[in-house]
Amino acid sequence: MSAHSAHRASAAHRQPPAPRLGRRLARFNRAVTNKASIHLAGFVPGLGMVIHVGRRTRNVYRTPVIVFRTKDGFRIALTYGRTSDWVQNALVHGAVRLVARRREYELNEPELVTDPHRQHVPLLLRGVLRLLRVSEFLDFRRAG
């Protein structure tokens, strides 16, 4: 990752435009689509399932995500932006579990990243994420 193509989130940087997927679609997906895709997320390349704990409820939740490997962990596309419940839960708790390609990983040290060039995204999905205006990601390191 070059210094010019991605930057860590900070108060000094302007927020990127919000992803095109709105909160209504997020609620619909949580109620309907996620229930079906949760069964595929751990098996399909490029998809994963984040297992996280609620900030207030302490319930365990499973959320399907678009995920990519990095040299020391994983990068997850924030298709609904940084205000999504699972993102906030991960930032508060500092750790999640990820099921990807039938393997489970303990992840920690979440870090918000703005990457308008979508560097760690396979070329095929780079255009899709560009259309959806997704330029924010959550980077994690593999624990242990």
pLDDT digits (tens, 9 = 90+) for 20-69: 555 555 565 555 555 566 666 777 788 899 999 999 999 999 999 999 99
Per-residue H/E/C for 63-86: EEEEEEECCCEEEEECCCCCCCHH
CB–CB of 50/88 below 8 Å?
no
Distances from the Cα of 137 to the Cαs of 1, 56, 59, 87, 108, in angstroms? Answer: 13, 24, 24, 10, 14
Question: 27-34: long-range contacts at Cβ-Cβ below 8 A with a sequence spacing of 24 or more?
Answer: 34/63, 34/64
Q: What is the pLDDT of residue 132?
A: 87
Q: What is the pLDDT of residue 3?
A: 39
Write down the pTM of the prediction. 0.76
